[in-house]
Amino acid sequence: MAATLEARTAREEAVEAGGRPPPSPLAGSLTLLQHPPVYTLGAGATADHLKFDPEHPPHPLFRVERGGEATHHCPGQLTLYPILDLTTPGLLPDLHWWLRGLEEVALRAAAAAGAAAVRPAFGARHADAERAAAAVATGSRIEGMTGAWLPSGKVAAVGVRATRWVTYHGLALNVDPDLSGFSAIVPCGIADRPVTSLAAAVAAVAGGEGFPAALAVGAPGQGPLMGAAAAAALGAFADVFGVELVGVGGEGGRRKG
């Protein structure tokens, strides 16, 4: 997390100074990653939503530049950090538009991951497969709140910042993390709504022994569900914001046409 923050801070400073860091332009990149377990506080957040002593956190605690309150990052959570110049033709210099777009990316990624990984994992159990895929495809927004939601809880958090309409921070989608880490905070300052994940939504439908072994392979963030979610998130991001993603295994984005 510290290395990620240092790299992003250097990029922000370059933009604020009117420059672009070599070797690639600052605005026009997308990074996908999984963090080790950490907690973060937004720029204006207080420690009121931490259930632990900030001097002795259960995992490293960072204050970052995004908006919003406390959140938790960990393996099994897919985090997207897009850096885009919203004044680029085809985009819109409007943070509400940007937030709604990131929410749409999360909702589409959840549904596509269900189709690509969840449904096939149930094999011949067609009825269970359809119910499980539907469980992650029925996401929505909640008026007055930021993020993406499944019927069982919040599945994606969004926290952003923009400098000269160049965006930082972004989207965190819970794919198959250990959700226990969220119990040490009031996630996003919302005390009365639970946090969930794609895997938890599938497990609730499948129940006990019904959870498909094909989705349980590997450590958190290393199984087929994460692979499907990462691919789906890239596709959804490109579609929602009308960008063409270029570069293999790295970050990069450019406008179509």
Ordered by where they begin, the domains of the chain are: 2-9+26-241 (3.30.930.10)
How do 61-63 and 38-41 pair as beta strands?
parallel
CA 126 to chain centre: 29
Query: pLDDT tens for residues 106-164?
Result: 999 999 999 999 989 888 788 888 989 999 999 999 999 999 999 989 999 999 999 99
pLDDT tier, 219 (very low <50, low <70, confident <90, very high otherwise): confident
Where residue 210 falls among pLDDT bands split at 50, 70, 90? Answer: confident
Rounded to an integer, what distance in angstroms lies between the CA atom of residue 129 and that of residue 234? 24
Whole-model pTM: value is 0.86
Q: What percent of the chain has pLDDT over 70?
A: 85
Kindly state the DSSP code that residue 21 receives in the 8-state scheme: -
Res 93: pLDDT? 96
H helices within the chain, ranges in order?
2-16, 95-113, 119-121, 126-137, 198-206, 224-241
Q: Which comes out higher in pLDDT, residue 34 or 220?
A: 34
- Residue 28: phi and psi, rounded to 5, are 125, 40
Q: What is the pLDDT of residues 225-255, one digit of tens each?
A: 999 999 999 999 999 999 988 874 543 334 3
Q: So which residues are the catalytic ones?
A: 188
Whether the Cβ atoms of residue 37 and residue 59 lie closer than 8 Å to each other: yes
Question: CA 132 to CA 101: how far, in whole Å?
Answer: 25
> Could you tell me what percent of the chain has a pLDDT over 90?
58
- Mean pLDDT, all residues of the chain: 85
